[in-house]
Amino acid sequence: MKAKEKIIIIDDDDDVCDSLSLFLNKVGYKTETAQTGQEGINKITKEFYIVALLDIKLPDIEGTELLKRLKEKHPKMDVIIMTGNASLNSAVQALNNGASGYILKPINLENLLTNLKNSIEKQHLIAEKQQTEQKLKDSEEKYRELYENAPNAYFSVNPDKSIKGCNQPACELLGYNKKEILTMKVFDLYYNSSEGLQKAKRLFKQFLEGKNIQDVEIQMKHKNGNPFWVSLTVKPIKNQKGEIVESRSMVINITERKETEEALKNSEHNLRERVKELTCLYSISRLIEDDEISIEQFFTKLLTFIPPAWQFPEVTCARITYEGKIFKTENFQEAQWKQIAEIKENGKKAGILEVIYFEKMPEFDEGPFFKEERDLINVIAKQISFFIERK
C-alpha cells in the first residue's frame, strides 16, 4: 500500500490549521500543524514533509526568514506560501527565495489541491530522474571496473604451430584432454571468424617476430564447436642465440564478461532513454506551472521537447491539432510512420498529438516505435488535456 504524502501546515490561526488539516486528510494526505515558526522548525527537524504550507505572517519568525530555515533543513521540501493581499509583496519575495508557489487567503481548496498536486508530481519526477541518472552512473562505473575472475589456462606453442604443453585448466576450458590437445595445431583452437582464426594468424605472426601480445580479446573454440571469448597474453621465449623457441601463452575466459558488457550496454541505453523521457515530462510539468502562458505558447514550446525524447530524434517531428488550429515542429514533414494520441477536454476528444518519423527506421514494437514511446505520447497527451482544462 502506497504511503500517504506528508504535509505540514504552519499558521498561527487555529481555524486555518484545523480546516486545512481536516480537508487534506480527507483527500488522502497526512498532515501535521504548527502555530509558530519555531514549532514548524522543530517538527521538520524530526520528520520529512514533502510540502509545507506556510503562512507568511507568523508571530515569532518573519515568513521569508522561516522559509530560508525550512529550505536549509530540507532543500527537497516544497514550500507554498499562504498570504493575504496585504502581504502579496512578501509572497513575491518568498518566491524569489525558493518558495514553489503561493495561494491567497481565503484559500480556494480546488486551487490548493492543484498547487499540491503539481508540487508533488514535480518532486516525484525530479526524484525519479535523479535515481535513474544515479543508476546510469553506477552502471557505467561497474562497466569500467569489471575484472576477469575465470581460472587461468596456460599453453606452450612451438614456432611450427604445434602445441608443446598445456595445464589442466586449459583442458577444462577447451573440453579436450591433454593428450588430444598435444596432437593439435594451435590454429585448431580458434573459432573460424574474423575475431577468431583470422586474428589468431595475425597474432602468431607477431609472436614469430618476437613481439609481446598483451590482453588481446579473441574467439577460441570448444570441442563441441561453440565459440567463446578469451583474453590472450603471449610472451615469446628465446634461446641463447635469440631465436624464438616457444610461447608462454595465458588464456582467461572472458565470455561472461563480454556477455555482461553487452547486457550493460543495453541497460545503459535503456536508462539513457528513460532519462530522456523523464526530462521531457519534467519540462512539460514546469511549463504547466506557468499560469501566464497562452495555449498557443504552450503548444509551441511543448513541441520542442518531443523530438529529443524519442529513439531517433534526428528524424522525429511532431504536430498538435486543436480546435481547427495546427501547431508543428519546425522540421515537420508528413510521413507514414507515426504515432497518434487523442487530446481530450472534459472527457471528449478536442484534438490530436502526432509524433512522426519522416524517414524509415528499424521495426520494433509499434512499427519503428517502442512500446515505451506509446506510453510516453499517451502521458504527454494527458498533460496537454490537464493544461487545457485548467485554462
Report the alpha-carbon distance of residue 153 to residue 220 in Å, rounded: 12
Domain count of the chain?
3
Q: Is residue 323 part of a domain?
A: yes
Q: Is residue 209 part of a domain?
A: yes
Q: Do 98 and 173 belong together in one domain?
A: no
Higher pLDDT residue, 370 or 202? 202
Report the alpha-carbon distance of residue 238 to residue 344 in Å, rounded: 80
Are the beta carbons of 337 and 357 closer than 8 angstroms?
yes
Indicate if the pLDDT at residue 144 is higher than 50.
no
Residue 34 sits in which domain range? 6-107
Indicate if the pLDDT at residue 143 is higher than 60.
no
Cα dihedral 97, 103, 104, 106, rounded to 10, equals: -140
Q: What's the pLDDT score for residue 262?
A: 81
Report the alpha-carbon distance of residue 132 to residue 389 in Å, rounded: 31
Single-letter amino acid code for the residue at 170? A
Widest distance between CA atoms in the chain: 101
Are the beta carbons of 32 and 49 closer than 8 angstroms?
yes
Indicate if the pLDDT at residue 313 is higher than 50.
yes
Q: Do 245 and 156 belong together in one domain?
A: yes
Last residue of a domain, one of 253, 276, 304: 253
What mean pLDDT do residues 199-210 have?
96
- pTM, two decimals, is 0.42
Q: Do 249 and 300 belong together in one domain?
A: no
Indicate if the pLDDT at residue 189 is higher than 90.
yes
Q: Do 295 and 225 belong together in one domain?
A: no
Higher pLDDT residue, 162 or 168? 162
Indicate if the pLDDT at residue 38 is higher than 60.
yes
Count the neighbouring beta carbons within 10 Å of the beta carbon of residue 120: 16
Count the neighbouring beta carbons within 10 Å of the beta carbon of residue 137: 11
Using the structure block, give the residue that is written with the C-alpha cell 544515479: 134
Q: Is residue 259 part of a domain?
A: no
pLDDT tens digit string along 345-382?
988 999 999 999 999 888 877 788 988 899 999 999 99
377: nearest Cα among 296, 315, 290, 316 = 316
Q: Is residue 163 part of a domain?
A: yes
H or E element in which residue 247 lies: strand 244-253
Cell of 241: 642465440
146 pLDDT band (50/70/90 cuts)? very low
Q: Do 236 and 328 belong together in one domain?
A: no
What mean pLDDT do residues 280-309 have?
93
Q: Is residue 37 part of a domain?
A: yes
- Mean pLDDT for the chain overall: 89
269: nearest Cα among 376, 359, 135 = 135
Higher pLDDT residue, 356 or 98? 356
Vertex 212, ends 209 and 217: CA angle to 5°? 115
Are the beta carbons of 357 and 316 closer than 8 angstroms?
yes
Q: Is residue 92 part of a domain?
A: yes
Q: Do 10 and 99 belong together in one domain?
A: yes
The domain that holds 162 is classified in CATH as 3.30.450.20
Q: Is residue 136 part of a domain?
A: no
87 burial class (0-12, 13-18, 19+ CB within 10 angstroms)? buried
**115-129, 265-279, 313-327, 359-373: which is most confident:** 313-327
What mean pLDDT do residues 29-54 have?
93
DSSP assignment of 325-360 equals EEEE-TT----SEEEEEEEEETTEEEEEEEEEESS-
147 pLDDT band (50/70/90 cuts)? very low
Residue 280 CA, distance from chain mean position: 12
Cα dihedral 57, 63, 66, 72, rounded to 10, equals: 150
Higher pLDDT residue, 390 or 348? 348
Last residue of a domain, one of 107, 140, 174: 107
Q: Do 245 and 296 belong together in one domain?
A: no
High-pLDDT (> 70) share of the chain, %: 93
Q: What's the pLDDT score for residue 148?
A: 32
253 pLDDT band (50/70/90 cuts)? very high
What mean pLDDT do residues 45-49 have?
91
Q: Do 221 and 301 belong together in one domain?
A: no
Q: What's the pLDDT score for residue 64?
A: 80
Q: Do 156 and 248 belong together in one domain?
A: yes
Q: What's the pLDDT score for residue 86?
A: 52
Q: What's the pLDDT score for residue 126?
A: 85
Q: Do 296 and 248 belong together in one domain?
A: no
3-state SS, residue 261: helix
Q: Is residue 119 part of a domain?
A: no
Indicate if the pLDDT at residue 15 is higher than 80.
yes
Q: Do 92 and 162 belong together in one domain?
A: no
Q: Do 103 and 167 belong together in one domain?
A: no
Last residue of a domain, one of 79, 107, 135: 107
